[in-house]
Each structure stands twice: as C-alpha cells, then as structure tokens.
Amino acid sequence: MIMLSKEELCGVIDAIGALTVGEIYSVAKEMSLLRGDVPRSMPEIKNICDDSENENLIVAVSWDEVEGMEESDLAYYIAGPNAFPEVPFELSEVIDILELTKREVDLTKVSGRISRNLHRRIKNLDNKIDSVNKGKVHEKDLENLEHRYSDILNQYYDYSFWLPENISAIEDEIKELSSRIESLKSAQGI
C-alpha cells in the first residue's frame, strides 16, 4: 500500500487546517504504524509536499496566516484549490495520539499574498515583453513568453475560484499580457 498518497495528504491537512512538513511526517509515521506499514522518510514526505504544492493541491502559508501561531520561519501547508481530500481512516486516532487541534487559516491574508505574487509575476512578464519587443524577437523568446503567460493564467484560474477574496482585478492585467504577446507574434508573422 502507498503510504500517504497526495489525496491522503490533502485530507490530513484539510481535516486539521494547517500543518508543517514536520507535523505531516509525524502524522504519516503514526498512520504507517497503525496500518502495520513501513513509514516514509522525511525526504519522501518533503517530496510529496513539493509535488503537491507544484500541482496546487496544497499551498504554503506563513505562521501569520494561521490563527494563533507564534512567529516562526516554518511554512504551514493548507489544502489548495486543486485538492481532492481523502481523509485516512486512521486520522482521528492519530490526531488523538499526537494531540493535534484544528487550526484556522485566514484566507483573506492568503488572498492578499497570492494577489500580490500574481501581480508581481505579471509585472515581471510585462517587463520581459518590453525587453523582447525592443530587440529581434526569436521564436524561443515567444515560446518562453507564452509558457510564462500560461503558468500565470492557470494559477489565476485555480486561485480565483478558490479564494474568498476577489482577485478578478488581475484579470485585466492578464488580458493585456495576452494582447501584447499576440501583437509580438503578429509582428513576426506567426
């Protein structure tokens, strides 16, 4: 049996609200012991978290976005916009063993941070378009711009439906990026 699938990871995090990678490791270890399986190593748990974060299944948040947490350098993970949580059968027993309590996340703060990050990525791409526009445009440059644009657009759509705060103000900036890239392509006859 695969211990702590991505779906289970999302279920564990969703049930508790927010967990650090160390806490996820502890939960996974206890679940493995209850199931009679070999626990995953910390690097394996970290890899599952990294992969899940890249797929927007989980989202890293800071201590000040989790209510009641003390200042820390640790990142907490919350279930993300693409999560399909599967709560493991053993989780309630593990919660009791580890004495974990439900944590609340301030999604308004998370929305603000994600909006700022998206805006910064849009601005960086806009600047890149400016620099490409001033010189000879190569096909690879256009592919790179389109790839970066696609990443921004996908992240925008994932988060715009998930976050409670409306981030639709960014939509106009995204449309402008699309228009600028299309103009570059037209100028090149592509």
- Asked whether residue 76 falls in the same domain as residue 117, the answer is no
pLDDT for 190? 65
Please compute the mean of the pLDDT values over residues 2-22 and round it to a whole number. 92
Position of tokens 């603000």?
Answer: 112
Q: What is the DSSP letter of 90?
A: T
- Asked whether residue 86 falls in the same domain as residue 119, the answer is no
Residue 166 pLDDT more than 70? no
- Asked whether residue 89 falls in the same domain as residue 112, the answer is no
CATH number at residue 48: 1.10.10
pLDDT for 96? 95
Of the residues 74, 98, 122, which one is the last residue of a structural domain?
98
Residue 19: helix, strand or coil by DSSP?
A: strand
Position of tokens 């564990």?
Answer: 12
pTM score, whole prediction: 0.84
Residue 183 pLDDT more than 80? yes
- Asked whether residue 57 falls in the same domain as residue 113, the answer is no
Residue 170 pLDDT more than 90? no
Mind listing the pLDDT tens digit for each residue in 103-142? 999 998 998 888 889 999 999 999 988 887 776 677 888 8
pLDDT for 153? 92
- Asked whether residue 18 falls in the same domain as residue 92, the answer is yes
Structural domain that includes position 94: 6-98
The band of 159, judged by pLDDT with boundaries at 50, 70 and 90, is confident
Query: Using an 8 Å Cβ cutoff, are 148 and 122 in contact?
Result: no
pLDDT for 135? 66
The secondary element (H helix, E strand) that includes residue 31 is helix 21-35
Residue 23 pLDDT more than 90? yes
Identify whether 1 is part of a domain: no
- Asked whether residue 28 falls in the same domain as residue 93, the answer is yes
Residue 152: helix, strand or coil by DSSP?
A: helix
